[in-house]
Amino acid sequence: MDIHQILRQLPHRYPILLVDRVVSLDSGKRIVAIKNVTINEPYFMGHFPHRPVMPGVLMLEAMAQAAALLAFEMQGVTPDNKTVYYFAGIDGARFKRPVEPGDQLKLDVSLERMKAGIFKFKGRTLVGEELACEAELMCTMRSVA
């Protein structure tokens, strides 16, 4: 899935769109996506000027966006202006290494279960083969007026 297909699925836009490409998608099971981290990211001006590091919360957000793409594909839906995909919870978040400009994040997200409209995912971000972040994510889709 290239950036054009991602933009049709996710409502996020610059500077919060954090998925650049989907490398593989196993329907209802797993998605692997890429986020290219560049010095041009707006958060690097303040986090931190002397040593730019990607905020951990944005790694979690990137995994959630990949999870949304998996959920939408699994359900065969394209979200519209009346649908929002929300975090319902984050458990066991651990940050193992800093992510810096020039790194490429591999977002590896697997569906653990879906019950009553709540999705539970296990997500990991890697730089090369090194684990940068891991967490369990709970997300849900809701209609908005």
Residues acting as catalytic residues: 47
Within 10 A of 73 (CB to CB), how many other CB atoms are there? Answer: 18
- Residue 3's pLDDT band, with cuts at 50, 70 and 90, is very high
Rounded distance, CA 99 to CA 104, Å?
9
* pLDDT for residue 34: 98
E-assigned strand segments in 1-145: 21-26, 30-36, 83-95, 104-115, 118-127, 130-143
Rounded distance, CA 28 to CA 145, Å?
28
> What average pLDDT does range 43-68 have in this prediction?
96
Interval 104-130: pLDDT, tens: 999 999 999 999 989 999 999 999 999
- Spans of all domains in the chain: 3-143
Q: Which CATH superfamily is domain 3-143 in?
A: Hotdog Thioesterase (3.10.129.10)
* pLDDT for residue 51: 96
| pLDDT of 62 strictly over 80 | yes
* pLDDT for residue 54: 98
What is the residue-averaged pLDDT of the chain?
95
DSSP 110-140: EEEEEETTEEEEEEEEEETTEEEEEEEEEEE
- Residue 145's pLDDT band, with cuts at 50, 70 and 90, is confident
- Residue 80's pLDDT band, with cuts at 50, 70 and 90, is confident
